């Protein structure tokens, strides 16, 4: 049992489920490598005529099983990265106290054991604070079991939005409901805005008609999507330019500045040197 398991949330709650994103990312890479290795071996070692293919089929099943797990594992990783534990993650015990000094030896920086003749050893490397989060663990996977399911739903909603915008018709209420319900879903929002693009996303702001709940859903979903897709200065400029053409420039600025954007997208937004909303309205 690790120190984290002894002292973390699992020690206080037997039902706790958590994800360490770096560890899960490593697991995903290992599963990908295993799938690639198995398929490579299978492609290069076809069973010769007259030899049973049972073992070959079993290996194919293992490769397929690994491939099937990747959608679920990647979805959990995306959830954990997008929704970190704001409480600080799992606590670890403090570093051990420095060892007692040997008479005549000099103190050691970092508390290491003194070396021969009073020469200190190397300082201890500080322990990395783990970043375990309950988000993405257990049944906490939003409204879709896999990344592919979320992407399919987002594609359908993006197509419905695009059709409504093209005809200058209201976006269907059901689609607004989906956007609100899945605004925090990393896979849904990524696919939605990848398919819409910045211009249609700006038109969606116009379609919200000033409704605060709808604008909040747009801002929340854009913020989540920015962590998983390229939303750089070029994307932001196109979004704001289309919003200005649609007459909703101030609302678009409000959506962006109120969104929980990724660090890179925030930096790109800062470089645009946006005017305050009040000035743009004047």
Average pLDDT rounded to a whole number, residues 76-101: 52
Identify the pLDDT of residue 23. 82
Q: How far apart are CA 113 and CA 185, in angstroms?
A: 49
- Report pTM: 0.66
Identify the pLDDT of residue 14. 55
Position 133 pLDDT exceeds 70: no
Q: How far apart are CA 258 and CA 242, in angstroms?
A: 19
Per residue in 185-243, pLDDT tens?
999 999 999 999 999 999 999 999 999 999 999 999 999 999 999 999 999 999 999 99
Instruction: Pick the range with the lowest mean pLDDT from 104-113, 133-142, 170-179, 211-220.
Output: 104-113
- Return the ∠ at Cα 80 (arms to 231 and 272), rounded to 5°: 20
Q: What percent of the chain has pLDDT over 70?
A: 70
pLDDT band at residue 267 under the 50/70/90 scheme: very high
Per residue in 25-65, pLDDT tens?
888 888 888 888 888 888 888 888 877 878 888 888 888 88
Question: Which residues fall within 8 angstroms of residue 260, CB to CB, at 6 or more apart?
Answer: 220, 223, 224
Within 10 angstroms of residue 177's Cβ, the number of other Cβ atoms is 12
Average pLDDT rounded to a whole number, residues 135-152: 77
Identify the pLDDT of residue 117. 40
Identify the pLDDT of residue 71. 77
């Amino acid at each position: 049992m690790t120190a984290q398991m002894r002292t973390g949330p699992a020690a206080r709650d037997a039902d706790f489920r958590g994800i360490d994103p770096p560890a899960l990312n490593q697991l995903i890479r290992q599963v990908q490598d295993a799938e690639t290795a198995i398929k490579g071996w299978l492609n290069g070692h076809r069973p010769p005529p007259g030899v049973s293919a049972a073992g070959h089929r079993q290996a194919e099943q293992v490769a397929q099983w690994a491939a099937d797990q990747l959608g679920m594992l990647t979805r959990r990783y995306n959830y954990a990265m997008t929704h970190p534990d704001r409480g600080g993650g799992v606590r670890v015990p403090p570093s051990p106290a420095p060892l007692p000094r040997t008479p005549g030896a000099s103190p050691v920086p970092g508390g290491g054991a003194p070396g021969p003749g009073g020469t200190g050893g190397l300082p201890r490397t500080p322990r990395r604070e783990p970043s375990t989060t309950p988000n993405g663990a257990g049944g906490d996977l939003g409204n879709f079991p896999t990344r592919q399911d979320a992407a399919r739903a987002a594609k359908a909603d993006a197509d419905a939005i695009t059709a409504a915008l093209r005809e200058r018709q209201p976006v269907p209420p059901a689609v607004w409901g989906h956007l609100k319900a899945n605004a925090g879903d990393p896979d849904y929002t990524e696919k939605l805005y990848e398919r819409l693009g910045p211009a249609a996303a700006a038109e969606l702001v116009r379609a919200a008609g000033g409704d605060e709940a709808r604008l909040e859903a747009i801002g929340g979903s854009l913020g989540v999507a920015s962590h998983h897709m390229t939303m750089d200065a070029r994307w932001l400029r196109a979004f704001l330019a289309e919003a200005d053409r649609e007459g909703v420039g101030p609302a678009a600025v409000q959506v962006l500045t109120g969104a929980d954007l990724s660090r890179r997208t925030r930096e790109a937004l800062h470089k645009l040197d946006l005017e305050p909303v009040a000035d743009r309205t004047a």
